Structure 1
Amino acid sequence: MLSQEELEKIREEIRSAIEELNLARETRKEMEGYLKAIEEQLKAYKEKIEAGGETYTVRKGDSLWKISKKYYGTPFKWPLIYRANKDKIKDPNRIFPGQVLRIPPPSEEEIRPPLMHLK
């Protein structure tokens, strides 16, 4: 027969195991939601790649730097926009309101690195 102290210890271990199980279930649900969001984002990127990208009409105060930040999340990819529009842009420091620029989609290599930690 188990003592009261031993029974209490077992009860505490069971409570602890149940808490860990519930936390694991919550974490799993969060990860499933996160993975679903990533899948949707990848699908959207794929559609853009297949469609050849987007267009953007330049507004007053815009720069390739700002447009790159808006579309790619970083201003440092402005050369992608410049190269895709060399026929329209003589000087990458001078774009004008009303110009319609092609925004090339990110390549697969640019999409893949942020997801490497999930493998």
Structure 2
Amino acid sequence: LRALDERVGELDSEISAIAASEPSAVRLQQLRGVGPMIATALIAAIGDARQFANGRQLAASLGLTPKQHSSGGKDRLLGISKRGDAYLRTLMIHGARSALRTAKSKDDRLSQWA
């Protein structure tokens, strides 16, 4: 177990070094709930985000948009669609949970809204 813990620590430090050296990862880490793990995973999976017209298309490709069961002008939106990359979606959800948990101790507008 100690050897595995050491190996995990080494890999975490490698990921942190990569995230610190990549300019787009540094920008992503400025968002709440986004650390080196999420930033590098997003960059590795998405690459250049210019292929998406807007943020909703990116969210849909990750499976973070609501399922739609709409007909006859009635919009029925259910939970997230769970399509796309399950690993990235899991990381994003945990990052959001982290941001929500720490919002209680902050006084800015975003934290108050959350």
Query: How does the TM-score come out when normalised to structure 2?
Result: 0.29
TM-score for both structures, normalised by structure 1: 0.28
Q: Which protein, 1 or 2, shows the higher relative CO under an 8 Å CA cutoff with sep ≥ 6?
A: 1
